[in-house]
């Protein structure tokens, strides 16, 4: 099980497409930095192809910094810095997409 | 758990050095071990001791130095990437006949072997890219 760390906004569509191709059952995705823009309700369709058991997270500090915490999709859970570390240690490995 | 971090992006145009700093702080608070932080490519710019952070802005180089001093961290700066960006220690200054080195305290210039070792011995290597 892999944690995918995404730091680019949805405008990096080629990058996100490549990431989605690499997603497997039981993986998780955490959006950080500009990546958290992908958590917006308006971008709900972005992750429509991923399996149900792939959890989606967005980093709290980056959501707050962009003022979008209240506008994110129901699909996405908010992770603080501590949960980010826990995710990295709980999953077998991490891949950074940037 | 033993972590190492790889940071690749410029501290001036990307968030990575700041994100990685918070991550480092948090993992240490949680009782994990931080084996090494490897600054690569544009991220090597953070080790330039001549950087004067504007008042009222976060002084990231200083934050890294303080964290390193508190936890005896191994902050390794890729020597090839650093030297061509003008980040040199006193040895390199002599070698290239420059007036003085400008490497910030607690940072160390070294090679990719240090990254290879970090990957080999760490349970997790987290990359903070550009």
SS (H, E, C) A8-27: CCCCCHHHHHHHHHHCCCCC
Does B124 contact A93 at a Cβ distance shorter than 8 Å? Answer: yes
**Weakly modelled stretches of chain A, pLDDT under 70:** none
Q: Assess whether pLDDT exceeds 90 at residue B113.
A: yes
Q: Are A3 and A28 in contact (CB under 8 A)?
A: yes
The pLDDT value given to residue A14: 96
B17 and chain A: CB distance < 8 Å anywhere? no
Give pLDDT, residue B120. Answer: 98
- Euclidean distance between CA atoms A67 and A46, whole angstroms: 20
Both tokens of B130, joined, read 């550009």
Q: What is the pLDDT of residues B80-110, one digit of tens each?
A: 999 999 999 999 999 999 999 999 999 999 9
Is residue B78 part of the annotated active site? The answer reads yes
Nearest to A94 among B15, B25, B124 (CB): B124
Amino acid A44: pLDDT: 83
pLDDT score, position A43:
93
What CATH number does the domain containing B91 carry? 3.40.1260.10
Candidates B78, B87, B115, B125; catalytic one? B78
Q: Mark which residues 29-88 of B lie under 8 Å from A by CB.
A: 29-30, 32
Provide the residue ranges of all domains of chain A, joining segments of one domain with +.
2-97
Burial of B127 (C-beta count, 10 Å sphere; 0-12/13-18/19+) = buried
Q: Are A43 and A37 in contact (CB under 8 A)?
A: yes
Q: Is A78 on the interface with B (CB under 8 A)?
A: no
Contact list, A93 vs chain B (CB under 8 Å)? 124
Query: Where is B107: in which H helix or E strand?
Result: strand B107-110
How large is the C-alpha radius of gyration of chain A?
12
* A98/chain B closest Cα distance in angstroms: 6
Condensed to tens digits (0 to 9), the pLDDT of residues A58-67 reads: 999 999 999 9
- pLDDT tens-digit profile of B7-16? 999 999 999 9
Number of domains in chain B: 1
Compute the distance between CA of residue A27 and CA of residue A4 in angstroms, rounded to an integer: 8
CB contact under 8 A, A96 and B129: yes
Per-residue model confidence (pLDDT) at position A87: 98
DSSP code of residue B32: -
Q: Which residue does chain B place closest to A33, by CA atoms?
A: B15
Q: Do the Cβ atoms of A81 and B124 come within 8 Å?
A: no
Write down the H helix ranges in chain B: 16-29, 60-71, 79-83, 90-95, 112-121
Q: Which of A81, A97, A98 sits opposite B23 (nearest CB)?
A: A81
pLDDT tens-place string over residues B28-60: 999 999 999 999 999 999 999 999 999 999 999
CATH class for domain A2-97? alpha beta
A56 close to A46: Cβ distance less than 8 angstroms: no
pTM: 0.96
A85 vs B22: CB contact, 8 Å cut-off?
no
Q: Name the residue range of residue B16's domain.
A: 2-128
- For residue B97, the model assigns a pLDDT of 97
Per-residue pLDDT of A84-94, as tens digits, reads 999 999 999 99
**C-alpha pair distances (Å), B120 with each of A37, A98, B1, B68, B116:** 34, 23, 14, 22, 6
């Amino acid at each position: 099980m892999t944690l995918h760390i995404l730091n680019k906004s949805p405008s990096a569509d080629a990058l996100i497409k490549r990431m989605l191709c690499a997603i497997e059952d039981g993986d998780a995705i955490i959006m950080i930095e500009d990546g958290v823009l992908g958590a917006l309700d308006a971008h709900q369709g972005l992750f429509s192809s991923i399996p149900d058991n792939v959890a989606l997270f967005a980093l709290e500090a980056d959501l707050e910094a962009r003022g979008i915490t209240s506008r994110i999709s129901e699909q996405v859970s908010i992770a603080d810095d501590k949960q980010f570390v826990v995710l990295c240690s709980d999953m077998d490995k991490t891949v950074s997409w940037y | 758990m033993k972590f190492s971090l790889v940071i690749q992006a410029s501290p001036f145009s990307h968030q990575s050095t700041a994100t990685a700093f918070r991550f480092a702080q948090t993992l240490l608070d949680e009782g994990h071990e931080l084996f090494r932080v490897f600054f690569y490519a544009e991220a090597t710019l953070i080790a330039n001791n001549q950087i004067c952070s504007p008042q009222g802005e976060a002084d990231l180089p200083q934050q890294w130095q303080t964290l390193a001093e508190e936890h005896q961290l191994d902050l390794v700066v890729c020597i090839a990437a650093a030297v061509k960006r003008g980040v040199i220690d006193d040895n390199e200054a002599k070698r290239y006949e420059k007036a003085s080195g400008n490497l910030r305290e607690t940072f160390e210039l070294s090679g990719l072997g240090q990254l290879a070792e970090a990957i080999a011995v760490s349970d997790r290597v987290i990359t903070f890219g550009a």
